[in-house]
Structure 1
Amino acid sequence: MEFKNSLEFAQQLDAADPLKDYRNEFHFPKVKGKDVIYFTGNSLGLQPKRTQEYIDEVMTAWKDLAVEGHFHAEKPWWDYHERLAAPLAKVVGAKTKEVTVMNTLSVNLHMLMVSFYRPTSHRFKIICEEKAFPSDQYMLKSQVQFHGLQPEDAIVEIKKREGEHYWRTSDILDKIKEVGDELALVLIGGVNYYNGQVFNMEAITKSAKEVGAFVGWDLAHAAGNVKLKLHDWGVDFAAWCSYKYMNSGPGNLSGVFVHEQYLNRVDIPRFEGWWGTKKETRFLMKPEFEPMENADAWQVSNPPILSLAPYLASLEMFDEVGMEPLIAKRDLIVAYLEFVLGEIDNETAGSFQIITPVERGCQLSVFLHGQGKDLFNYLMDHGVITDWREPNVIRLAPAPFYCSFTDMYHFGQILKSGIQLKGKVK
C-alpha cells in the first residue's frame, strides 16, 4: 500500500477499518474539550465502557446477597476467575488449563521462580536482557540473594552491540550456549519496554531448553499485543499484567501460564494456599494440600472479584475480535505511523530517530535529537498523551482497539508544529 500523509487518506483507512466501531467502546480523556490522541496503551489501556456494567454487577450482588454471592451471584465469586482462563488462553497461545489469574505481575514472577529457579552449586545462572524493566532487575537480584548467591556471579545480562539500539537474537543464542550447563533460567521481557523490540521467543526458548534450563517470559508488553504460542514453544512459565494492552484498569491482576507438563504434580515446589487446593474439597478445610489439576494450583488466596470484573469485561472484546484481526490492524497502523513520522522528519531536517527494530508490536520508540522534554510537554498540552523515557525518548503505542489512522495524521501535524515552535525549522 502506498501511504499518503493527508487527512483524506487517513480517513479512508479508518473507513475501511473492520475494527473502527470498537473505538466507541472506550472512554477517552479530553484536553481542551477534545478526545486525546492516546499513545500510552503500553502503560495503561483506556477504560472500556462495558467495564462499569461488570463492576456494578458485582457490587449489586454484594449488596443484595452479601456472603451468599460466593455461590449465588449471577457469576458466582468462588469460581469467577475460571471465566477468564479460556479467552486468555487464546490471547497467549495456551491450553485453558495452563492459564490462571492471580496477584500482580512481579508477585507472580516471584511465585513462579519458587518453582522454576532452583539453583544448584553448578547450575545457578540466570540470563536476562541488559537494563530490563527495573522491577525485573530487583526481582532477579533478590531471588539470587535469597538463595545465598551474588548477583554479579549469577545474573548474566545480554547487552546490545556498541552503537546499536536493539538486541541481536544471535547474540542471545550464543550467550545461552556459552553459559551452557551452568544456566538455570532464562527470564526476559517478551517485548522490551524501552525500545519496543519483540524478542524471538520461540528461538530463545528452544535454545535454552537444549542446554537444560528453564524458560520464563515477562509478557507485560506482549500480552494482547503480539502473537504468542506459549504452549507450542514449550515455554515453562510466563506472567503478564492486564492493565496495558488488555485494558483492565490500573495495577490490576496478572495472568499466569504454566506449561501442562508441570500440572497435576505434587513434586513441584511452590508456595501454596487454599485457593490452589482441589475445588471439590476446598471447603472441607482439610489439612493436606491437594493441588488443582490446572494452573490454579499456583493460586494462594481467593481472588479479588472487583479486580477480576474489569478484566473479564475487556477479555470479552478480545474474544469477540480475536488476536489475528487485532494484529493485522496493529501492523497497518504502526506502519502508517512510521510513514507519518518519516514525512515529518524529512520536513524538519532530521529532528528524531526511530529506535524500534522491525521486530515490533504496537510500539515505536522515538529518540529526539536536541529536543529535550519541552517537545514532550508541547505534545501533552495539545492533547497527545504519550510517554517520556530518559534520556530523550518518547514511546508511541497506537493500540488497535481504539486508535485511529486519523489520530496518526493529526499527531504528525502537532509534532511538526511543536518542532517548528522550538526553532528547529526557520
Structure 2
Amino acid sequence: MYKPTLDYAQQLDKEDNLAHLRAQFHIPKDAEGNDWLYFTGNSLGLQPKQTQQYIQQELDDWAKYGVEGHFEARNPWMPYHEFLTNSMAKIVGAKPLEVVVMNTLTTNLHLLMVSFYQPTKTKYKIVIESDAFPSDRYAVQSQLKFHGFDTEEGLIEWKPRKGEELLRIEDLEKIVDEQGDEIALLLIGGVNYYTGQYLDIKRIAEIGHAKNCMVGIDLAHGAGNISPELHDSGVDFAAWCTYKYLNSGPGSLAGLFVHEKHAHNKELPRFAGWWNHNKETRFNMRQPFDVMPGAEGWQLSNPPILSMAAIRASLDMFEEVGMEALRAKSEKLTGYFEYLINQIDTDRIKIITPSNPKERGCQLSIQVKNADKSLHKKLTENNIITDWREPDVIRCAPVPMYNSFEDVYRMVEILKTLL
C-alpha cells in the first residue's frame, strides 16, 4: 500500500533497480541549479548524456574520411540504419524484417497509405478515433481528397460515449460490423495522446480484418512507453516518432513497421526511391527497380546519419535495460502518482486516463474543473514542466528512465498548494 510521504517516495527510489538511469540524462535546471520536475517525455524526451559522444563520432569520421566514411567510418554510414533495426524491433515487438527507421511520422503514414489504402468506389472509408492527434486527421483527410472522395462522408470517427472520455472497443466493433463493407482502412492511435488510453491493438486488428479492412496503428505515444507486440497483433502497418519516449532529439527520424505477411509482396503499390532498391545492385545505376523485401522496401533516400546516431545512443540504453523492466517501473511509478492525486482533498480533479495499468502507459491526464492555462503557467513558474491541453487537462508523463518517485511526490505537493 502506498504512503503519501516524502520519506516513502525516497524509499521507493532507493529500492528502484533503474534509479541509476536518471544520472545518464541531462535534467534541465532552474537558475539556482535545481532540477526541474520534468513530466513531458510524452512531447520530447530528455537527452541521454552519451548522445553527444555518438554524434561526435560521426562528425569526427566525416572530418577524417569525407565520403569514404560510408565504408571506412567506425560505424559505416552505408548500412547505418541497420544498426538500429534489432533494438527497435524489440521495443515494438516485431521481427527485424518488419522494422526500419526512416523519415518522419506523418511522412511514413502517407507512404504506408500509398500501399495499404487502396479504395474502391464502394469500399473507401477510413476510421480514426474522434480525438486523434491532428496530424493523423489531416493525413487521412488529404488521402480521401487525393482519391476523389468527400472528406466528411469518407471519414468515420470512433467516439467515446456521451459523458465519457474513453473509447470502448465494442463501439468500434459495432461501427465495423455495420459499415465494414464501405471501410477500407482503420488508422488508430495505439495510445491516445489526450487521454493516455492504451487501446487493444490486437483486437482492433481482428475487428478490421473480419471485414477485409486494412489496419494501421500510430504509435507516436506508444513506442518506448508500452509493449505493443506488433507482430503478434497482426496489424498491417504502424509508424511512430522517436523523439518522445525514445529520447532521440527534437524532430528526429521515425520508425515504420510492415507486417511480415506483406514482406515479399512486390506487387503492393508504393512510391520508389534509391534506398528501397535491392542493396546488392543499388550502385549499378542502370538497373530496373527491384524492391527490397520487408520494411526496408518503403525507404526512399539514404538516411541522415547524425539523427540516426542520436537514436542509436538512446536505443543502446533500451537494449541494456529492456522494455519489461521499464514497463514494470512505469506501472509502479504511475500507480504512485495516481494514488497521490487521489489523496488531494478536492472535487476539482479527475484523472481521465484508465485506472487499469494495462490500459495506459506512463501518462496521466489530469482534468481540473474551472481551470484554464493559468494553472499550467503557475506549474511552470514552480519549475514543473507539464503539457496543457485545452480546455482543462494537464498531461503528465513520469518516464521510468529518468523520473523518480520523489519527482512525483514533489509535483503533487506543489499542485495541491496551487489548487
- Same-fold call, TM > 0.5? yes
Aligned to 1:200: 200
Aligned to 1:17: 16
Alignment of 1:57-76 (within 5 A): 57-76=57-76
Q: Distance in 2 between matches of 1:236 and 1:286?
A: 33
Aligned to 1:395: 395
Paired residues of 2:131 and 2:194 also in contact (CA < 8 A)? no
Which aligned runs of 4 or more in structure 1 are off by greater than 3 angstroms? none
TM-superposition CA deviations, 1:345-374 (whole Å, max 9, x none): x2xx22311111232111110111123222
Q: Give the partner amino acid of 2:350.
A: Q
Aligned to 1:171: 171
Q: Distance in 1 between matches of 2:293 and 2:182?
A: 32
Taking only the aligned residue pairs, the percentage that are identical comes to: 53
Alignment of 1:164-243 (within 5 A): 164-243=164-243
Q: Give the partner amino acid of 1:228.
A: P
Deviation at 1:115, TM superposition (A): 0.2
Q: Distance in 2 between matches of 1:365 and 1:387?
A: 9
Deviation at 1:13, TM superposition (A): 0.5
TM-superposition CA deviations, 1:307-345 (whole Å, max 9, x none): 10000110001111111100000000000000111112x
1:350 aligns with 2:382: no
Q: Distance in 1 between matches of 2:152 and 2:370?
A: 35
Alignment of 1:15-414 (within 5 A): 15-32=14-31, 33-344=33-344, 346=345, 349-358=346-355, 359-414=359-414
What is the number of residues matched between the two proteins?
415
Paired residues of 1:101 and 1:253 also in contact (CA < 8 A)? yes
Deviation at 1:136, TM superposition (A): 0.6
5+ residue gaps in structure 2? none
Q: Give the partner amino acid of 1:20.
A: A
Q: Secondary structure at the match of 1:35?
A: coil
Deviation at 1:169, TM superposition (A): 1.0
Q: Distance in 1 between matches of 2:217 and 2:199?
A: 10
CA RMSD of aligned residues (A): 0.9
Deviation at 1:293, TM superposition (A): 2.1
Aligned to 2:2: 3
Aligned to 2:415: 415
TM-superposition CA deviations, 1:240-284 (whole Å, max 9, x none): 000000000001100000011111332011001010111111111
Q: Secondary structure at the match of 1:114?
A: helix
TM-superposition CA deviations, 1:9-62 (whole Å, max 9, x none): 001100111100000010011123211111100000000001001100010011
Q: Distance in 1 between matches of 2:257 and 2:327?
A: 21
* TM-score (structure 1 length as normaliser): 0.96
Paired residues of 1:31 and 1:382 also in contact (CA < 8 A)? no
Deviation at 1:227, TM superposition (A): 1.4
* TM-score (structure 2 length as normaliser): 0.98
Q: Secondary structure at the match of 2:78?
A: helix
5+ residue gaps in structure 1? 420-426
Q: Secondary structure at the match of 1:409?
A: helix
